[in-house]
Structure 1
Amino acid sequence: MDDLILRLGVALAIGLLVGLERGWREREEAAGRRTAGIRTYGISALLGAVMAALAASLGSALVLAVGFLGFALVFGWFQAREAVQENSLSATSAIVGLCTFALGALAVVGDQRAAAAGGAALAAILASREVLHRLVKRLSWVELRSALMLAVMTTIILPLLPDRTIDPWGGLNPREIWFFTVLTATISYLGYVATRILGPRRGVLAGGLLGAVVSSTAVTLAFARSAAAGKASRPLAENASRPLAENSSRPLAESSSRPLAGAAALAAMVSVLRVTGLVLILNPGVLPVMAPAALAAALVFAACGGLLIWRGGGGEGAAGPARNPFDLVPLLVFAAGFAVVSTASAALVGSFGAASLLGSSALSGVFDVDVAVLSALRLVDPVPRLAIGQAVLAALAANAMGRLLLASAAGPRDFALPLAGATLAALVAGGLAGFATFG
């Protein structure tokens, strides 16, 4: 009896929560002009709970089915009359009423925690109407296709792939590789969405932080090109009106190159933190090995980036990478590269031991740090955690040097030199922390 009273209370709470949102939205309507409000939805959920309790007591599910059908007819008829009077085609209120009745019944005959969670989710969706409508208006076809592609990749392709290694060295597991590919692309897609919402030109800070979630290398290259373009396009006459001493102490385009270099340093910080997050999700046991060095490097990147932006007077950042991380061709290339590197790493470890993992991780990390890190994290059984952590750090260091080479090739000295200083300082800090960790 006590359990039934508790379940009836949960059902009533669900209805009142949903009714609170419905009543608030129509609070300006005159009395008697609303089909349903807080009391109606509360009673609807309680009615569903009572019908479910009667069905369970009588041992007949038909009681609940008939009760649901009768409620649907009555509630739907009132909603139809309201829609005619208001000249509305919305079916939301009618469906919400049916869902509230069903959640009340679920609270009695099913999992009451699931019913309470469903009620909270229903109220949250109803309260987010304006946000969701704005999102749909801003959503492009490419982004919708990406969401559908993610659903297909996760719910259809992933379960069909074999969950076993198919190579002699135990490195090529199709389902595992595809899962890591989808996970990495999803993290990148979140950064892409954030960039779309906030805008790509909200200053060097937003551009560096948000763009680096997609690709820190792409952000560095974009900033290097922006620095080079700003240096080449700024006329010498711009500084002619300034005092000679000011011109001699403020090289051409320095004010724009410094913030861009700072943004690139912040992008490097995000890259290190993103890799640390992957380790935390996929192999937490490796975290004590690599986290001190990685966090020390990230802290130095953050300090140097903030200092360069502050000394450069802010400035306007270049647009971060707008590439959709769910483009099919780059995604397949990533999966193929991941498969090749994973198989090669397993073969090298099997032939030459754990020491060979450092070389393969550093080599692949120059081109793609995610591939290198994920390949190292997969080697759990034959490789000790210390070797895996060192391989992750080697991939991060190699990727940092690769970004620096790209910056030197594509950007001016005013951009490359500050970034080189930040990178070397981060490598030194990470190296010292790593030596202290490894003993």
Structure 2
Amino acid sequence: MDPLILRLGLALAIGLLVGLERGWREREAPDRSRTAGIRTYGISGLTGGIFAALAQEFESSLILAAGFLGYGAVLAWFKAREATHDKDYSVTGVVAGLAVFALGALAVAGDYVAAAAGGTFLAAVLASREVLHGLLRRLTWVELRSALVLAVMTAIVLPILPDRTIDPWGGLNPREIWFFTVLTAAISFLGYAATRIFGATRGLLVSALTGAIVSSTAVTLALGRAAKAEAGTETGRYAGAACFAAMVSVLRVAVVTLIIEPGVLAHTGLPILAAAAIFAGAGTLLLTREASGAALEPANRNPFDIGPLLLFAILFAIVSTASAAIAGLIDDRGLIAVSAISGTFDVDVAVLSSLRLARQAVSLETVAIAVLLALAANALGRLIVAAVAGPVRYWMPLGVASIAAAAVGYGAFLLTPYLVRALFPAG
């Protein structure tokens, strides 16, 4: 079949997809009372494709420009009449029509894959009006300001940062450090957004899970305080929620490893999954043994606050430089020691500092050991926080679960090389 026909069909499909959303939204309106519906948007996409084809045929981009301007003028005139009649000041329909025309032209004269993706995204955005408006109403000024400042720092500052190491040991790369900082904040923001959207009123488990994506240590501390304030003896459910928070922290490291250095996951994947399973099992057991309590309100700070981000970046830079210096001047054992020590205070800093060394002279197995020790050290740090903040009935079950997770994870780490050789024999 002629490729032009296929591209024109795609242009028509883009318009029909957007028109489907527009027509559904105005489905209760009487016939002929709206400027554009599913047919009009479909024809708009096809028209854009036709003008793009004509521009190619006659080798004149002016044809496409004239078609776009003419189409825009006609659509805007009809929309203005409709807006006057309905007293409606929304310009969404006009902008959507212009986008459909342009995407139809792109489907014929440019990247048809990008055109198809753009049409799908456009329809999704139009269909998400209520959701987006609801999120906008819930957004606070502090969150908006933090997001805007972060966007400026990412879009403007990040490109101008030097993409090279500036220290003698090859550990301090400004652009890489800031990229990892933004990545960590973005992952944390998933949990923060979940708590802001759904609230922490759906039970102890939801509160712990969403809060742990931001900070499992903060959740452990909040749970300990709640358990200490509990008048009765049913504090095991708080320990169960803390176990699930630990599970989230472990799985979060797996996600970061998969994004940054997937090769390390071959050594850490099985131990991480084994430890996460132990925490999940212990948490389920503790939560089901006792009645569920009120929801927790953990310390869900905004992960996009500039102050904590800059502090994280500075700490990350210090640990990265120290890790590189020790790895180069001493041996791999020094790197592992640094990772274990720094992991007690911040597992993200320790893990990211270790992962970035996988691209240098450090072996993947050594990096994997550093990552796993950072997780173990962070678990120890959480246990210390739990012991300080909560009663024995709270931190003791968490401690047992942590020891069991560490033991099973270590066993899985020892078993990993044998499984790899069995699944992928040499030759």
Structure 1 vs Structure 2 CA RMSD: 1.2
Q: Which one of the candidate residues 339, 346, 366 is aligned to 1:368?
A: 346
Q: Which one of the candidate residues 393, 396, 410 is aligned to 1:414?
A: 393
Residues 1:66 and 2:66 are matched in the alignment: yes
In the superposition, the TM-score normalised over structure 2's length comes to 0.95
Partners of 2:204 and 2:293 within 8 A in 1: yes
The answer for the alignment partner of 1:143 in structure 2 is 143
Q: Map Cα deviations across residues 216-252 of structure 1 (whole Å, 9 max, x no partner).
A: 011000100111122xxx3xxxxxxxxxxxxxxxxxx
Identity %: 61
- Secondary structure at 1:59 match in 2: coil
Residues 1:309 and 2:314 are matched in the alignment: no
Runs of 4+ with >6 A deviation: none
Separation of aligned partners in 2, 1:142 and 1:342? 31
Instruction: Specify the structure having the higher radius of gyration (Cα).
Output: 1
Partners of 1:48 and 1:105 within 8 A in 2: yes
Deviation, 1:153, is 2.6
The answer for the alignment partner of 1:425 in structure 2 is 404
Partners of 2:150 and 2:306 within 8 A in 1: no
Separation of aligned partners in 2, 1:176 and 1:215? 23
The answer for the alignment partner of 1:201 in structure 2 is 201
Deviation, 1:320, is 2.0
- Secondary structure at 1:254 match in 2: coil
Separation of aligned partners in 2, 1:31 and 1:228? 65
| Structure 1: gaps of 5 or more residues | 235-252
Deviation, 1:269, is 0.5
What is the one-letter code of the residue matched to 1:146?
S
Partners of 1:153 and 1:182 within 8 A in 2: no
Q: Map Cα deviations across residues 102-129 of structure 1 (whole Å, 9 max, x no partner).
A: 1111111111111111111111111111
- Secondary structure at 1:391 match in 2: helix
Separation of aligned partners in 2, 1:75 and 1:432? 68
Deviation, 1:351, is 1.4
Separation of aligned partners in 2, 1:98 and 1:291? 48
Residues 1:332 and 2:310 are matched in the alignment: yes
Separation of aligned partners in 1, 2:409 and 2:128? 44
Separation of aligned partners in 2, 1:23 and 1:15? 12
What is the one-letter code of the residue matched to 1:138?
R
What is the one-letter code of the residue matched to 1:254?
T
Q: Which one of the candidate residues 357, 366, 369 is aligned to 1:379?
A: 357
Q: Which moved more, 1:216-225 or 1:112-121?
A: 112-121
Separation of aligned partners in 1, 2:185 and 2:116? 33
Q: Which one of the candidate residues 413, 417, 421 is aligned to 1:434?
A: 413
Deviation, 1:337, is 0.6
Separation of aligned partners in 2, 1:225 and 1:219? 10
Partners of 2:340 and 2:377 within 8 A in 1: yes
The answer for the alignment partner of 2:112 in structure 1 is 112
What is the one-letter code of the residue matched to 1:152?
V
What is the one-letter code of the residue matched to 2:47?
L
The answer for the alignment partner of 1:82 in structure 2 is 82
Separation of aligned partners in 2, 1:46 and 1:317? 54
Partners of 1:208 and 1:267 within 8 A in 2: yes
Separation of aligned partners in 2, 1:293 and 1:77? 64
The answer for the alignment partner of 1:320 in structure 2 is 298
Deviation, 1:438, is 5.4
The answer for the alignment partner of 2:226 in structure 1 is 226
Partners of 1:266 and 1:302 within 8 A in 2: yes
Partners of 1:254 and 1:312 within 8 A in 2: no
Partners of 1:269 and 1:301 within 8 A in 2: yes
After superposition, where does 1:10-159 map in structure 2 within 5 Å? 10-159=10-159
Partners of 2:220 and 2:386 within 8 A in 1: yes
Separation of aligned partners in 2, 1:400 and 1:145? 34
Partners of 2:146 and 2:306 within 8 A in 1: no
